[in-house]
């Protein structure tokens, strides 16, 4: 026979009640919920060369403090350091062609796996093909919140912009010699680096890059539209006005 101990029974009931109330107030997280938890923002800057992806991405970086990742800048850094990837990529870039998908995907996914990207990041110049976009979606699914900002600009304006563009050799900040010149000629306002004209910003290569954009990258507008995450912005206006439209599409962090 076991002795009935009223105090022990009462204690057991109190513990059981507390556990039930706890699981009601704080339900156990499902494993999917844990993975998607901070649900970081992945901002995708889409648009033709010269639409202002780099400028807007850099302004977003200053405001949101998440990394600005430009595949073009990563490739140019590889070229400068004469890495095997840089040597391979240069032959495509000099002609205005796209660098093969697999090289880009390996390079980009290695970059976004770094710790500084855990709270989200801004993609500038990626994806540029349907295969790149699909690979990114597969990687992000359930772990991040992609938002696509499609910067829209007509071809004639692109040529006018790119032939007068100079960029900082060190930090990549772009300037337009007529519309947004640096304070000091040839010197970057941000880091005092040297301003240069990109070797692929000549009229012949720009024309090729535009064709490549229309053939291979513009179909992504439709792809992201169907996913309901595309926002288009007219880029034939001052960069501050474009920025205010861009920012309006970015969800505020939930508290
Ligand atoms: P950008 O600085 O974004 O204009 O890129 C300069 C060049 O780098 C492009 O014309 C391509 O040759 C190459 N590139 C940059 N990003 C990509 C990408 N996502 N896929 C393929 N090639 C790229």
Active site residues: 53, 128, 165, 198, 209
> Is residue 1 pLDDT above 60, yes or no?
no
* Pairing assessment for the beta strands 68-70 and 120-124 based on DSSP bridges: parallel
- As a whole number, the mean pLDDT across the chain is 88
Measure 99 CA to ligand 1 centroid, in angstroms. Answer: 7
Ligand 1 near 72 CB (within 6 A) = yes
Instruction: Kindly report, residue by residue over 63-78, the tens digit of the pLDDT.
Output: 999 999 999 999 999 9
- Window from 18-32, 104-118, 217-231 with minimum mean pLDDT: 18-32
Listed residue (136, 122, 128, 134) closest to 54, CA to CA: 122
Ligand 1 near 108 CB (within 6 A) = no
Ligand 1 near 76 CB (within 6 A) = no
Instruction: Kindly report, residue by residue over 81-128, the tens digit of the pLDDT.
Output: 999 999 999 999 999 999 999 999 999 999 999 999 999 999 999 999
| Cα–Cα distance measured from residue 50 to residue 158, given in angstroms and rounded to the nearest whole number | 5
pLDDT band at 9 (very low <50, low <70, confident <90, very high): low
Listed residue (134, 176, 171) closest to 153, CA to CA: 176
Measure 161 CA to ligand 1 centroid, in angstroms. Answer: 17
Phi and psi based region of residue 234 (left: phi greater than 0; alpha: psi -120 to 50; beta: remaining): beta
Q: Do 145 and 251 touch, CB atoms closer than 8 A?
A: yes
pLDDT at position 15 is 52
Measure 217 CA to ligand 1 centroid, in angstroms. Answer: 11
> Is residue 20 pLDDT above 90, yes or no?
no
Q: Do 200 and 209 touch, CB atoms closer than 8 A?
A: yes
> For a pLDDT cut of 90, what percent of the chain falls above it?
76
Ligand 1 near 78 CB (within 6 A) = no
Question: Which pair of structure tokens corresponds to residue 162?
Answer: 């790119």
Ligand 1 near 49 CB (within 6 A) = yes
Q: Do 197 and 175 touch, CB atoms closer than 8 A?
A: no
Pocket test for ligand 1, best of 76, 86, 125, 196 (most atoms within 8 A of CB): 125
Measure 237 CA to ligand 1 centroid, in angstroms. Answer: 24
Q: What is the pTM of this model?
A: 0.82
Ligand 1 near 104 CB (within 6 A) = yes
> For a pLDDT cut of 70, what percent of the chain falls above it?
84
């Amino acid at each position: 026979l076991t002795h009935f101990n009223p105090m022990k029974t009462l204690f057991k009931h109190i513990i059981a009640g507390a556990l039930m109330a706890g699981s009601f107030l704080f339900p156990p997280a499902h494993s999917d919920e844990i993975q998607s938890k901070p649900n970081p923002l992945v901002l995708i800057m889409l648009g033709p060369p010269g639409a202002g992806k780099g400028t807007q991405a850099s302004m977003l970086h200053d405001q949101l403090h998440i990394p600005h990742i430009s595949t073009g800048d990563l490739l140019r850094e590889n070229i400068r350091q004469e890495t095997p990837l840089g040597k391979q990529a240069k032959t495509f870039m000099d002609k205005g062609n796209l660098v093969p998908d697999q090289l880009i995907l390996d390079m980009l996914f290695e970059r976004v796996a770094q710790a500084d990207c855990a709270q989200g990041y801004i993609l500038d110049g990626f994806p540029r093909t349907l295969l790149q976009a699909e690979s990114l979606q597969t990687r992000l699914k359930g772990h991040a919140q992609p938002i696509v900002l499609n910067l829209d600009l007509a071809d004639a304006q692109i040529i006018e912009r790119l032939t007068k563009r100079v960029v900082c050799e060190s930090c990549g900040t772009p300037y337009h010699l007529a519309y947004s010149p640096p304070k000091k000629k040839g010197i970057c306002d941000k880091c005092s680096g040297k301003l240069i004209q990109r070797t692929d910003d000549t009229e012949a290569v720009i024309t090729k890059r535009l064709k490549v954009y229309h053939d291979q990258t513009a179909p992504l507008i439709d792809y992201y539209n169907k996913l309901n995450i595309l926002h288009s912005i007219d880029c034939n206006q001052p960069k501050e006005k474009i920025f205010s439209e861009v920012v309006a599409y970015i969800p505020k962090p939930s508290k």
